[in-house]
Structure 1
Amino acid sequence: MQTQVGIVGAGPAGLMLAHLLHLRGIESVVLDTRTREEIEGTIRAGILEQNTVDLMADSGIGDRVKQVGSVHHGIELRFDGRGHRIDFEELTGRAVTVYPQHEVLKDLIEQRLSDGGEIRFGVSDVRVEDITGDTPTIRFTDNDGTEEVLHCALVGGCDGSRTQTRPLIPSPDVRQDHFRQYPFAWFGILVEAPPSSEELIYAHHENGFALISTRSPEVQRLYLQVDPEDSVDNWSDDRIWNELHTRVAGDDVELKEGPIFQKSILPFRSFVCEPMQHGRLFLAGDAAHTVPPTGAKGMNLAIADVYILARAMGEFFESGETTALDSYTATALPRVWRAQHFSWWMTSMLHRMPQSSGFDLKRQTAELDTVTRSRAGRTLLAENYVGTPLY
């Protein structure tokens, strides 16, 4: 098999990269160990920055997100029993759109297949070789058991946080891994109920953080801060609702209860790989970095990565020029680190740290009060939440 770009991973990064390359007339093959049903059935959060929505629309896959996505013009920071709205529209003239990740993937897969592009679902034994030569190869077993070899000029490592492509960058001689594990996790539930709020509520409380989020008019996503060693078995439905009511207390908000049909615990960590490239291999999305979900940056960072990467690959195939490819890491990383800082800031400001004292809780409340009182503080938060330029 021959193609111009071999892409490992059919998540948001891999599929969007393939789509943007197709628009430039560049051929690619996308490989993933999961089936199409598994990819489209993995329920993930989806808060899309304005830049992401604009790119989807400009590249021809924005119809559904415009039709059914829920545009949010602000969020609420809640502390001391009161809500404080951050008005994105007033402060930035921009907004975010709630549109789950699996819906983005459905849009990308449908467009890819309608364009005649190739996605190999359900492959196994994927091995990327010769990334420092001119013609890398990707060996894999197709879903019918056939051994295949894909020859390409460039490789996109877009295979998520459990990546097999990142280790191909030698460590520590070339690769430096920056890692932070947070001392708490999110206990998440999916509930059949109408929305409790028109916009997301980020609540700070002495018992810990809580988030009131949404998936659709009928299904809501709610989170509680818990110990990372906690178990879903420790949380009855009654205990969940009691704790949510406690942490999001106030006369101005009414939590809508309903049947809980999914419970899970999400660990918190930050990670950045430097560099994001080696030879003919280029990492994007969670294969290169992960962020805590507090700032809603994960999928948006993946889209920003491949926007930069597709332009660089386009220059390479159109003219043979390698300047943009060579500087891919230097171009992408500043935005990655800004997102890391924003996610860390939101996380540290809103969550109760282990062994927090009364001083620590009062200091966090003062920080939240400073941010919400100050137009400059609200603007800083809003600008980062709705998304900084792609690069």
Structure 2
Amino acid sequence: MKKILLVLNIILLISCNQKEFNKEKENLILKLDEKELIIRDQIVSIEEKKSEIKLLNQELKLLKESFSKIKPKKELYNLYNEVKSSVYLIYTENEKGTSQGSAFVVSKEGMAISNYHVFKNASSAIAINGKGNEFLISEIIEKNEEKDYIIFKLGPLTNSIPFLKISENIPNIGEDVFAVGNPNGLRQTLSKGIISSYRKHLIQTTTEITHGSSGGPLFNDNGEVIGITSSGMGEANLNFAVNINNLNLPKYLEKDKQSFNNRLNERDLIKIMNNYYNKLKNEDMYSLFEIYEKELSRFHGLYSINKSRAIKDHKDYLSKYEISLINILPQSVRTFEGNESYTIQYKMEYNIIRRKNNKPYNYILNTVCVISKEGKIKSIYDDITQKN
């Protein structure tokens, strides 16, 4: 009996210990589960924070890029001093006399812009910068009477010249703008105002535009060109500028930067001109017709004429005068590479005889000719520097 009781006590003790063990085991498992949950939450939190940090870094990068593009606004007097050297006074001559206007340069190679009406019916034109230096109008690139703009080249140039930047965007109505022009010949005069409205291809502004300022630049408050100052009505402060977006400037500016695959050297250009003068002297009109471009941007005192008109002028001239000598002075030759063309400048002896009375005339001419990359004459004009 005693043995049986002992066995039962042992069994009972083992059973109690097993229950405690199981209970401890369950508690341990619960604690492990809790720890696992906590660790999992911490891992998720760390990953979320990593994502947040990544997003914050991206936002910070974008902010830095935005701030780098934001330039502090310059004072008006600083902007004026930066742009004024690219604004020119234009003098033109026609049957009625002389007139004046403004223009501005948009490439270091001398591409310039003005109003069409400044050059309308002009037989000759000259551009003068703020220092009083004179520049010839060597080439008419494009003109539009309806929209009142003209694109041309100054030349020949020995060095690059200051030029203006064209705005990629137009200001909102109410934003500040300013203009630099030559009212009544008063060079590089500053005026300021705001954008009043947009009228088809025109910008309406309170910026004053008076006689002589036509053809000058209208700027945004960063000193970038947004328009070509065109006219002022003098009442209610109504002034207008041609929207610069109407001009296909990128096309011409890109061409201005291009180099030629088929380059002509100075010897080639002199050869072209000697050939031209031989044909002229021999009155070979057919060959002259082949030498000219289809359209001449300038032919002595005429602008934008076709080559048939140039040949007619030659015929009229040669009916009155016989050419006895044309001689290019080699030491005077200068050549320049430009917008899909070359410019050659030189002095030459030019002797003629009036057929009516056999009277001779002897000249020294300063001549400028623009030649296409194909070797055809696009523009030619001269000034008399000496007469005997």
For the criterion TM > 0.5, the same-fold answer is no
Greater RCO (Cα-Cα under 8 Å, separation 6 or more): 1
TM-score normalised according to structure 2 size:
0.22
Higher strand share: 2
Larger radius of gyration: 2
